[in-house]
Amino acid sequence: IRLPDVNVPIATYMGWNLGSEGFAKGSLCSVIGSTIPFSITKLDRQKSGDPRLSIKERYVNHDAYVNQIKEASKRLLKKRLLLKDDVDFYVELARKRDIGLPRH
């Protein structure tokens, strides 16, 4: 099940952690995974050499981001994988985020 935050990402999410060679060799340093945020703009990502689309390339504005979260949530509701309260939670969370809002 791909939850709305995974279907409408603002970062790359991994179930493991990146580490330098030799660091914590043979041990599970942390098992919560890693999050690598997307660049905000295309220019930012090009400067850093990041091949992943930026936030602004993915979501033209805040409403577009919120609508994609809403649609992803509704698809899961229709499949009975989320409750209506869950849909409301994800949409409200998206509204509170600054994704797609102008930056000063």
Task: Identify the pLDDT of residue 100.
Answer: 83
pLDDT tens figures, 54-97? 999 999 999 999 999 999 999 999 999 999 999 999 999 999 99
* Entry pTM: 0.83
Number of domains in the chain: 1
pLDDT tens figures, 6-63? 999 999 998 877 766 766 666 655 567 888 999 999 999 999 999 999 999 999 999 9
Query: Residue 26: inside a domain, yes or no?
Result: yes
Give the residue among 13, 5, 3 at the shortest CA–CA distance from 34. 13
Query: Residue 75: inside a domain, yes or no?
Result: yes
Q: Whole domain around residue 71: which residue ranges?
A: 4-96
Tokens coding 17: 């952690």
End-to-end Cα spacing for the chain: 37
Do residues 58 and 64 make contact, with C-beta atoms less than 8 angstroms apart?
A: no
Query: Residue 104: inside a domain, yes or no?
Result: no
Query: Residue 102: inside a domain, yes or no?
Result: no
Query: Residue 78: inside a domain, yes or no?
Result: yes
- Helices 84-96 and 62-78, axial angle in degrees (round to 10): 170
Query: Residue 22: inside a domain, yes or no?
Result: yes
Do residues 52 and 38 make contact, with C-beta atoms less than 8 angstroms apart?
A: yes
Element (H, E) at 72: helix 62-78
Distance CA 36, CA 81 (A): 27
Task: Identify the pLDDT of residue 26.
Answer: 62
